[in-house]
């Protein structure tokens, strides 16, 4: 175990660049609790990190791009799905820091539409290359090829796909967990469980923080994607790499990681009925916007657990809103049928 002060001091040693509006608010959702007749529910507003509509990647990029600047990079190369929040926030950060940003985006299972994140990528000046590779290792190879070709032209390339970047991203969520614990203490809330969307660094960093601080709360990572490898083991590896960056012993094992594939539905990026219901419930009860790909599915899991009686009055839950709201505009066809012309839910 390590004290919050000691952990913060370790994190403060790492290279970092300021990008996010921090701390993000921790707010109570009383009208959602009333609708469920259940536990108190709090929301950690990481959708409010600021840069180009915010989200969890603004935190990640503070540590990833801190390393890029320290290494003297002039070019960033990154990629993911065509509606990637990560790529949108990375391209915006590159614009702010004066770096050239190349995005390698896949159209696998998605339409090419100038909407949502893809529209914003163009707006902030990213140089975009499209392909139709599946997400995961095949796409990561394309990103590597792009990085190698720019290097051969003499560019000082930094690519976010390397393991050290993923570990740096995880550290940002170890810090976010510290921030959340301080806010819970200030508001005298004892969280029983924390729900969030993750299949990678965000969860890895939170599981590491929980273990290092000896926190009792249950952490529920709700996976947005089924990787072609074991997600829990992947998170353990990322958490171990993050501990190494902090010069701490490996702390997280498989028993510490709870990552559920149960809410992915038909696949990554495809809205589920549960995610659409969660989006309209939060919007209509609290005026808070979720997204269909990540936070809607994670909130769907929280709602399902409350409705099946796992959490009741007397329990306190936290939902970490990791962002992703620009994708709402791409998913307008999924959302529109939920509402009739008078604005009532259909
Ligand atoms: C809105 C949102 N939530 C959650 C995640 C998952 O983050 P991670 O890959 O760090 O688990 C992402 C990843 O792109 C995201 O865009």
The CATH number of residue 26's host domain is 3.40.50.1100
- Residue 172 annotated as catalytic: no
pLDDT tens for residues 59-71? Answer: 999 999 999 999 9
- pLDDT attached to residue 250: 86
**Residue with the nearest Cα to atom 7 of ligand 1?**
198
- 300 CA to centre of own chain: 16
From 46, 56, 59, mutation site for ligand 1 pocket: most ligand atoms within 8 A of C-beta: 56
Percentage of the chain modeled with pLDDT above 70: 98
Query: Has residue 80 been placed in a domain?
Result: yes
- pLDDT attached to residue 346: 46
Q: Note the pTM of the prediction, 2 decimals.
A: 0.96
Atom of ligand 1 nearest to the CA of 170: 10
pLDDT tens for residues 194-203? Answer: 999 999 999 9
Among 127, 161, 195, where does a domain finish?
A: 161
Query: Has residue 312 been placed in a domain?
Result: yes
Residue environment code for 118-154, b if the CB has 16+ CB neighbours within 10 A, otherwise e: bebbeebebbbeeeebebeeebbebbbebbeebeeee
Say whether both 152 and 179 belong to one domain: no
Three-class DSSP category at 45: strand
Our count of domains for the chain comes to 2
pLDDT tens for residues 280-312? Answer: 999 999 999 999 999 999 999 999 999 999 999
Kindly state the tokens that stand for 238: 């990322």
Say whether both 271 and 322 belong to one domain: yes
Mean pLDDT of the chain: 96
Say whether both 27 and 63 belong to one domain: no
| CA of residue 225 to ligand 1 center, whole Å | 10
| CA of residue 322 to ligand 1 center, whole Å | 7
Q: What is the DSSP string of 200-245?
A: SHHHHHHHHHHHHHT--SEEEEE-SS--SS-HHHHHHHHHHHHHHH
Say whether both 154 and 190 belong to one domain: no
Q: How many helical (H) and strand (E) elements, i.e. helices and strands, does the chain have? A: 13, 10
Q: Print the domain residue range for 83.
A: 56-161
CA dist., res. 324 & res. 156, Å (int): 30
Among 114, 133, 161, where does a domain finish?
A: 161
Query: Has residue 317 been placed in a domain?
Result: yes
Q: Is the Cβ atom of 324 under 6 angstroms away from ligand 1?
A: yes
Q: Looking at residues 246-255, what average pLDDT do you find?
A: 94
Catalytic residue among 84, 165, 197, 275: 84
Say whether both 151 and 216 belong to one domain: no
Q: Is the Cβ atom of 75 under 6 angstroms away from ligand 1?
A: no
């Amino acid at each position: 175990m390590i004290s919050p002060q000691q952990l913060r001091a370790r994190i403060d040693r790492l290279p970092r660049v300021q990008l996010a509006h921090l701390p993000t608010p921790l707010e109570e959702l009383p009208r959602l609790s009333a609708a469920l007749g259940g536990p108190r529910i709090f929301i950690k507003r990481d959708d409010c990190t600021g840069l180009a509509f915010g989200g969890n990647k603004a935190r990640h990029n503070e540590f990833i791009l801190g390393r890029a600047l320290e290494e003297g990079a002039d070019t960033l190369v990154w990629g993911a799905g065509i509606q990637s929040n990560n790529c949108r926030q990375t391209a915006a950060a590159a614009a702010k820091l004066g770096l050239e940003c190349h995005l390698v985006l896949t159209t696998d299972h998605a339409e090419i539409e100038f909407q949502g994140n893809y529209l914003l990528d163009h707006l902030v000046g990213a140089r975009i290359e499209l392909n139709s590779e599946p997400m995961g290792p095949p796409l990561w190879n394309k990103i590597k090829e792009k990085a190698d070709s720019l290097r051969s032209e003499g560019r000082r390339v930094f690519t976010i796909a390397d393991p050290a970047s993923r570990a740096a991203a995880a550290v940002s969520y170890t810090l976010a967990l510290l921030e959340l614990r301080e806010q819970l203490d200030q508001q005298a809330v004892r969280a029983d469980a924390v729900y969030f969307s993750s299949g990678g660094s965000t969860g890895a960093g939170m599981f590491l923080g929980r273990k290092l601080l000896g926190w009792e709360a249950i952490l529920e990572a709700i996976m947005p994607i089924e990787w072609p490898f074991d997600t829990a083991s992947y998170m353990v590896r990322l958490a171990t790499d993050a501990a190494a960056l902090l010069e701490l012993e490996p702390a997280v094992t498989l028993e510490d990681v709870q990552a559920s594939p149960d809410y992915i539905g038909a696949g990554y990026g495809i809205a589920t009925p549960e995610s659409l219901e969660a989006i309209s419930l939060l919007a209509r009860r609290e005026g808070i916007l979720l997204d269909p790909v990540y936070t809607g599915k994670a909130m769907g899991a929280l709602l399902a657990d409350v409705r099946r009686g796992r959490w009741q009055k007397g329990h306190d839950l936290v939902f970490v809103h990791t962002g992703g709201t620009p994708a709402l505009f791409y998913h307008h066809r999924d959302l529109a049928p939920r509402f009739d012309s008078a604005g009532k839910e259909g």
